[in-house]
Amino acid sequence: MDSPRIAPGGLRELGLVNHVISGLAGRVIGGQRPNIFTTLGRRRGLFRAWLLYSATMMPGGKLPRTDTELVILHVAALRECEYERRHHERLGRRVGLSAQEVANAHDAAWDGWTPRRRSLLTAAGQLVRERDIDDATWAAVRDHLDEPTAIELLMLCGQYDSLATTLMTLRVQPE
């Protein structure tokens, strides 16, 4: 893997608030300060605004956490974002996804999905690949999600697609 284009920062680069946030995040995940936090945290105020925005969907969204993690894993697989994939495999297992579900998150056609989860993954795949959802897939999503939650699904996909771009462009290394 290529070297990071911007190295993870310490207290000086992150500032006290972001340094504390990254330390707490490391404790929560049971490891070191996440490189995503110590890299993106260099853009101090933007990082905190992004963190609040992200937390509004995960873990604080209307979608169940298992569905959220599954969608994120699908986006990570489609984007081939190793950092996102590794991080959310752990989170997905922690919130209740089975090993089989995590292993098949890349495949919306897997036989083990419920119609609900298949519709979410199909929608996520279309958003990442086509930047749109066809009418049949939208109808399937709406069979399972109310309007606010359908909007959240779109924003979740866009957020993690954008994050994959940032992580891969900056060459942020998995822990």
pLDDT value, residue 29: 82
pLDDT of residue 123: 98
What does the pLDDT read at residue 115? 98
* Cis peptide, bond prior to residue 115, ω within 30 of zero: no
**3-state secondary structure string, the chain?**
CCCCCCCCCCHHHHHHHHHHHHHHHHHHHCCCCCHHHHHHCCCHHHHHHHHHHHHHHCCCCCCCHHHHHHHHHHHHHHHCCHHHHHHHHHHHHHHCCCHHHHHCCCCCCCCCCCHHHHHHHHHHHHHHHHCCCCHHHHHHHHHHCCHHHHHHHHHHHHHHHHHHHHHHHHCCCCC
pTM of this prediction?
0.95
pLDDT in 10s for each residue of the chain, 175 residues: 689 999 999 999 999 999 999 999 999 888 899 999 999 999 999 999 999 999 999 989 999 999 999 999 999 999 999 999 999 999 999 999 999 999 999 999 999 999 999 999 999 999 999 999 999 999 999 999 999 999 999 999 999 999 999 999 999 999 8
